[in-house]
Structure 1
Amino acid sequence: MNTNLQKIGELLSQYRKSKGLTQEEVGAMIGVQKAMVSKVENGLCVNFNTINRLAEALGVEPVVGLKPKKKADKNLIDYVMTVIIEFARRHGLTIREASNYIGRFKGIDFLVEFYDVEHTLSFNDCVDDLTVVCQNYGGTLK
């Protein structure tokens, strides 16, 4: 699933819910079935026409932007891999299990976004921070 489409769908879902509308009601407003609204909100089967129609019905304006892709930084990649290994050791996981867990519960996003600060900390402190971030996103490791 394309995470950008999923984000658009999540935002539309939030606006719909904030207005107290059901998927069925919004679908009726734009002439589609509830299932189509559900697909859009889950990042599936999305096209700009449907997004625009849903946004119009919800009273919001979708904004599209382009930004250059970031080139992978070898230092960042090495750092993330080392943190994954340390995380696995601390929590008694395989490297694959740790990588999957950290990715699923937004830990990789955290490490990339806050690399400039986190890489200045000890690995112990970084693993502590990463554990908290993953728990905040639903992870259940101790």
Structure 2
Amino acid sequence: MQRVSEKDKIEYTVSLVSDFAKKHSLSTTQAFNYLDRFNAIDFINQHYNITHTLPYKEILDDLALYCKNRGGNL
């Protein structure tokens, strides 16, 4: 199995945060803070090997649900 670089994880996370922000009409800072508050950033980092293989739209929807299940309200 090939080792994942931190650069790849960071680029993927930045891309997700940016698209999450657009989808929910937030600034990127607001999106990052929201995702971080409900531990979605940690989830992305811990499960990168799986999440980056799934359809992108599905991941964005799943992140919203993940946060909602932890008290988020988007």
- Tell me if both proteins adopt one fold, taking TM over 0.5 as the criterion: yes
Q: Following TM superposition, where does structure 1 have runs of at least 4 consecutive aligned residues deviating by more than 3 angstroms?
A: none
**Amino acid corresponding to residue 98 of structure 1 in structure 2:** A
1:115 to 48, 62, 70: 48
Match of 1:36 in 2: none
CA-based RMSD: 1.0
Aligned length: 70
In 2, the alpha carbon distance for the partners of 1:121 and 1:89 equals 20
Report the Cα offset of residue 109 of structure 1: 1.1
Q: Which runs of 5+ in 1 are unaligned?
A: 1-71
Match of 1:95 in 2: 28
Report the Cα offset of residue 101 of structure 1: 0.3
Greater gyration radius: 1
Name the structure, 1 or 2, with higher relative contact order (CA <8 Å, separation 6+). Answer: 2
Report the Cα offset of residue 90 of structure 1: 0.7
**Amino acid corresponding to residue 6 of structure 2 in structure 1:** D
2:39 to 92, 95, 106: 106
Contact 1:80/1:108, CA 8 A, preserved across alignment: yes
In 1, the alpha carbon distance for the partners of 2:31 and 2:51 equals 18
Report the Cα offset of residue 133 of structure 1: 0.8
Report the Cα offset of residue 122 of structure 1: 2.1
Q: Percent identity?
A: 39
